[in-house]
Copies of this chain bind each other. A is one copy, B any other.
Amino acid sequence: MTLVWLNGRIVSLTDAHISVTDRGFLLGDGLFETMPVYMGRVFDLDAHLERLASGLAVLKFAGAVDLVKLRAGIADYLAAEEMVTAVLRLTVTRGAGPRGLLPPEAPSPALLMTLSPMPPLATEPLSLHIAAATRRNEFSPLSRIKALPYLDNVLALQEARDHGADEAILLNVRGTIACATAANIFAIRDGRLETPPLSDGALPGTMRALVLALANRLGLAAVETSLRAGDLAGADEVFLTNSIRRVTPVKECNGKPVGGRGGRALERLHALIAARMGLP
């Protein structure tokens, strides 16, 4: 990352600074999107900007962010960086404010974009750990938007790594599965492609939506249904999805084997997603 895009200007990383009065920094008052760039363009940009818009509506500063200008800014930034394949993170905060929780009446949001190298797709299935220390709060609208506060997810991932697992599963407060710390979770069972509904605290992942839309191409019925930890062991296949890593199979959860009986479904899903992305 050499150049960053900050409030409409492309500047060097060392010249890019956030104000100490920024509410994103002080209170987590903001949103972000992490988006894959292929062939110099963001894949599924509309879905990411729609999710951003829904987050801005929840936080009530949609009127202060011009998504048309932002879209042009994304194109400018990618062109300036000549990035063909990369990860683009967009951060939008409510900007500076006076002391206290109450937002300013006319916020002046801070907008930041950074580019990072695209990580390789997973070559090995992952091990999961069900986080015990924290739960995802499906009673908060923040569970349904991509808000800056990711600290529960950080704690859950730390716990998973302490247990030798690759990723953590967050349960919701009712005790069913919500999602992983940076991915949604799917199970293939009995000819169904199952994933927790958003009302269970699942983040509305863009790759989640794409995979649900592709289920019928796999000969599977897409079903949003609550999943319990015990449901994973009996599944033909368990996998995680996110916009960057796409689809990653899971081999075990809390030390017990899961999945691995999905036959060609995941292979076929990979191919369908790559085709959507225009990739070989």
A residues in contact (CB < 8 Å) with B: 4, 6, 13, 16-22, 24-29, 32, 58-60, 87, 89, 91, 93, 99-103, 112, 114, 116, 133-135, 137, 139-142, 147-155, 157-158, 161, 173, 181-182
Contacts and interface: CB of A to CB of B under 8 A. Distances in A.
A20 B18 contact: yes
A257 to B, nearest CB: 25
A154 B157 CA distance: 26
A174 to B, nearest CB: 9
A58 B134 CA distance: 11
Given A13-B20, A182-B101, A26 B139 contact: no
16 contacts: A17-B19, A18-B25, A20-B112, A25-B25, A25-B93, A25-B148, A26-B148, A27-B151, A28-B28, A28-B149, A28-B151, A59-B151, A59-B154, A135-B139, A142-B151, A142-B152
A99 B116 CA distance: 8
Nearest to A150: B27
A139 B137 contact: yes
Contacts of A16: 20
Contact of A140 (B89, B101, B135): B135
B19 A155 contact: no
Contact of A141 (B29, B134, B182): B134
A140 B141 contact: no
A32 B126 CA distance: 35
Contact of A103 (B4, B19, B152, B158): B158
A136 to B, nearest CB: 8
A273 B21 CA distance: 31
A19 to B, nearest CB: 7
A85 to B, nearest CB: 15
A98 B74 CA distance: 22
A135 B109 CA distance: 26
In order of increasing CB-CB distance, the 9 nearest A-B pairs are A17-B17, A149-B149, A28-B28, A137-B137, A135-B139, A28-B149, A18-B18, A27-B150, A25-B25
Contacts of A100: 182
Nearest to A98: B116
Question: Most chain-B Cβ atoms within 10 A of its Cβ — which of A6, A13, A26, A153?
Answer: A26
B150 A142 contact: no
Contacts of A101: 150, 153-154, 157, 181-182
A20 B134 contact: no
A109 to B, nearest CB: 14
